[in-house]
Amino acid sequence: MSIEFPESSKEITIIKGKRYSICTCGASAVMPFCDGKHREINEKEVCNYKSIKIISEKDTKIQVHSAAWDS
């Protein structure tokens, strides 16, 4: 079975036990990782973006995507 990911999805390598913050707002300068820019977006546009936190139990690769990355 193959999965089709949106064109704007990103593959990241994650290390066991390390915490990652993934951007959901699309405004980060270090995509796909959160750099805190969502706080400005939330204040300006009265919304409530938050990063997604990931901690893996093993070294692996994953695909990440947010619908806001396409807008």
Specify the residue for token string 């947010």.
66
The H-or-E segment that residue 62 falls in is: strand 60-64
Q: Which of 6, 15, 16, 35 binds ligand FES (CB under 6 A)?
A: 35
Gyration radius of the chain's alpha carbons: 13
Q: ω into residue 6 within 30 of 0, thus cis?
A: no
By the rule CB under 6 A, 28 interacts with ligand FES = yes
According to CB under 6 A, which one of 14, 38, 64, 69 is a site residue for ligand FES? Answer: 38
Binding test (CB under 6 A) with ligand FES, winner from 20, 51, 64, 69: 51
Q: Which is nearer to ligand FES, 37 or 65 (CB)?
A: 37
